[in-house]
Amino acid sequence: MILGVNVDHVATLRQARLGTEPDPAMAAALAILGGADGITIHLREDRRHINDRDLDVLKNSVPIELNLEMAATAEMIRIAKDKRPDLVTIVPEKRKELTTEGGLEIRSNKKAVKEAIKRLRGSGIKVSLFINPLEQDIEISREINADMIELHTGAYANETGSGAEKEFLRIENAVLKAGQVGLVVNAGHGLNYYNISRIAGIEGIRGLYIGHSIISRAVLVGIERAVREMKDLIDASVITQLKQRVAKMESARTA
């Protein structure tokens, strides 16, 4: 299971003084040393954190998956086609939000998202859609030719107790559904060192995309260590899940 590290919050700190440090490109290099499998940035219309220079530098320096989160606007499609990141994740974007608030309103924006996918894939860029874990949204994602989806885990992350359980089951079912329709499935948003293990234990998820919790920990322990600790939790969960599957197969064989 891959870990994509979002370095937007490093740029947010830089923008607090409108200066040059800390540099998200340096953070990306250290995240890679810590074991990141991908680097994610969200280029927003208002350039509130990541800017065009960051995209340029990262495109030319990141040797692993560079995932560009963006809205499906004409400006962003033009930039993506020009810079050619490895992956574009189409997200909804509102000017006043603190972070991406939910998955795409894919039912009402089907035509525009389909056109964006067509244009991006036409330039050889893989396209993922950030959607809520709903069957209908998964079916539409398949219908409009997305390569992948990223399931929004924010509702799971914000809940506790039976609420979290309900949201977890919703994600588990969505992963299953995505596999049935032939979509590669990722997950992200609100994942942290305490809630990651259950999600990382779901069979069929290709990758997890995490920003805030890793950068928050990095302020205290350094980026390399923060990424390594997250990666270790993910790996441990994947190994536990594999062992459980092997044990199940063994007991079915001997029954």
State how far the alpha carbon of 72 is from the alpha carbons of 46, 65, 178, in Å. 14, 20, 22
What's the CA gap between 67 and 109, in Å, rounded? 22
- Check 69, 93, 150, 172 and give the catalytic one: 69
Catalytically annotated residue among 42, 93, 150, 152? 42
Neighbours of 73 (CB within 10 A): 13
What 3-state DSSP class applies to 148?
strand
Residues in binding contact with ligand PXP, number by CB under 6 A: 19
Looking only at residues 62 through 81 of this chain, which bind ligand PXP when binding is defined by CB under 6 A? Answer: 69
**Closer residue to ligand PXP in complex, CB, 52/250:** 52
Q: How far is the CB of 165 from ligand PXP (least distance, A)?
A: 20
State the catalytic residue, choosing from 9, 49, 152, 189.
189
**Options 45, 52, 94, 99; binder of ligand PXP; rule CB under 6 A:** 99
Positions 195 through 234 that interact with ligand PXP (CB under 6 A) = 209-213
Residue 43 lies near ligand PXP (rule: CB under 6 A): no
User: Does the annotation mark 9 as catalytic?
Assistant: no
Q: Which pair of tokens denotes residue 78?
A: 């033009």
CB of residue 190 to ligand PXP, shortest distance in Å: 5
> Using CB under 6 A as the criterion, what x/- string covers residues 132-171 for binding ligand PXP?
------------------x---------------------
Binding mask 120-139 for ligand PXP (x = CB under 6 A): ----------x---------
Q: Report the candidate in 12, 22, 4 with the shortest Cα–Cα distance to residue 66.
A: 4
Query: Other C-beta atoms within 10 Å of 198: how many?
Result: 15
CA-CA-CA-CA torsion sign (103, 106, 109, 111): positive
Q: Rounded to 10 degrees, what is the CA torsion of 181, 238, 208, 225?
A: -170
Q: Which residues are catalytic?
A: 42, 69, 189
